[in-house]
Structures are given as C-alpha cells and as structure tokens.
Structure 1
Amino acid sequence: MNMIRPIRNEEDYETALEEIEELWEAEPGSAEADRLEVLVMLVEAYEAEHYPIPAPDPIELILHVMEARGLTRRDLEPYLGSRARVSEVLNRRRPLSLEMIRKLQAGLGLPADVLVQPYPLQPYSEPALTHTGPLRS
C-alpha cells in the first residue's frame, strides 16, 4: 500500500476513488478499513472544495417535500396560513416569515438554514380595475 497523500488534483481524486472502491468491503477495525476511512475523508474534503452543492431554494425545497410526501397546498395551511397565503408564498409573491419558517421546521422537519436563504420573489401587480356598468353618482 502506498502512503496516503492529500488530494490536490483530478488525477489524485480519481485514484482515491478507485482505491475506495477496492477497499469498500474491508473488515471493520482492519488496517484496510482505517485506510478507507481516511481516503473517504480526503475525498469528501476535495469534493466540498471543488464540487460544492448549493443550498436549495426555499420554495423549491417546499415543493419537493410536498411532492415526495404527497402533500397538497391545503396541507400547508397550518404552516403558512390561509389558502391565499399558501398560494402567495408558493407563487413567490410573498416571502416566508419567521413564524412560517419556525412552523415548517417544527411541523415538517424542514431545515431552517435552508428556509432562511434569500430567494427571488415575483413582482406583485395589482389586478386591473375594470368597469362593466354605468357609473353611479
């Protein structure tokens, strides 16, 4: 076995991944298992630096959880408020409030650190006023 070295480039990274694959079935507590553990830590550090995964958008997270758990907009009312409020939040017309974030975390187990991330809102436009009858004086 070669000495373990830092992963500095893609070639080192690929070599480490190959060795991890070879060591994957190592007997717990063995020298091979210890080597595997160290290699995994090095690969994780390299990936965190070179392939960061951005935090998901809060609304995308909520929509994903709704789909995964089979939730409807009505199911979100205890966390976000009225049916209209749920619609405003999911359509990005209203930001999540601190109270909503707390309820989503407590009730659905959504991570608050994701829910507090800034996200784009849609500009709110007032509905056009239309007049269909005679003016009253």
Structure 2
Amino acid sequence: MQRRLIDGFATVKSKAKALFEEAGFITEIRNDADYENALALMDELIEDYDEHRALIAVLANSIEEWENTAPEFAAFNQQLAQLDDGVAVLRTLIDQYQLKADDLKDEIGSKSLVSMILNGSRKLTREHIQALSLRFGLNPAIFFQAPKHQLQVVA
C-alpha cells in the first residue's frame, strides 16, 4: 500500500509541475498578461462549473489577490472602500454591465436620481434594491453587507 501512494504522489507532482510551468498564473498572477490569461481561463472553466470547481476556486483566489494588490486597481479599490455598500454594488453593476444612468430608469428612476445616489446625496430605497436585485439576479442582502473585495460580477 505504501509503495502505491509514493508512486501516486510522483505522478501528481509531475503533472502539477507541468501544469504550473504552462500556466503559473493559476496560483500567482505576476503581470497584466498573466491576469488576462487568468480571466480567459476562468471564462472557459465557468462553462462547466461542476467539473472544474476546484480549479475555479484556486484561480479565483489568484485573480482576487491580483485585483486587491495590483497598482492599476489601487484607485478603484480605494474609492470602493469609501463607498456605502449599496452604492458600491450599484457602481460595480454599472461598471460590469457598462451602463449609463439612463439604463437604470426602470429600477431607480431619472438620471439625476441615479447621480444623486452615486454621489451619496440620496440613498437607495427598498424598492430600488428590490428592482436591481431582480434585474441582476442578486440577493438583496448584498446591498447592505457587500464584501467590497468580492464585488466583481461575472456576466
């Protein structure tokens, strides 16, 4: 039995070495090219989530670490940290879906109301949150307790 385990580990180590030589970004993103490759691989893996769940989890951690520490995300992360949870979610939805204020008229109302909510002079109402949650398939609770480092929406 012991011999079989050692042989099994040798195979695992060999395959892991080959994988990480080919796609080291799976565990550590070092530059923009790695980041782009990680995102592209994630798109592929999501197609069959159940089969790739473990690899998705590892890759998601790598992507999250890069997005939390890369200089090009610093300004965005700083702004996000200062936002009200609901506004942070709303801004993320706008960015992810490339929306304009007018695109949210059915959920929030006028462009000026959307602008006031985004600049903090007005708050999202229960009705706004329900409508946004329905449109984007979100649990309404995210507008109240958003983990700001995990707001990326996958379309």
With normalisation by structure 2, the TM-score equals 0.38
Please identify which structure carries the higher helix content: 2
Question: Is the radius of gyration larger for structure 1 or structure 2?
Answer: 1
Return the TM-score normalized by structure 1.
0.42
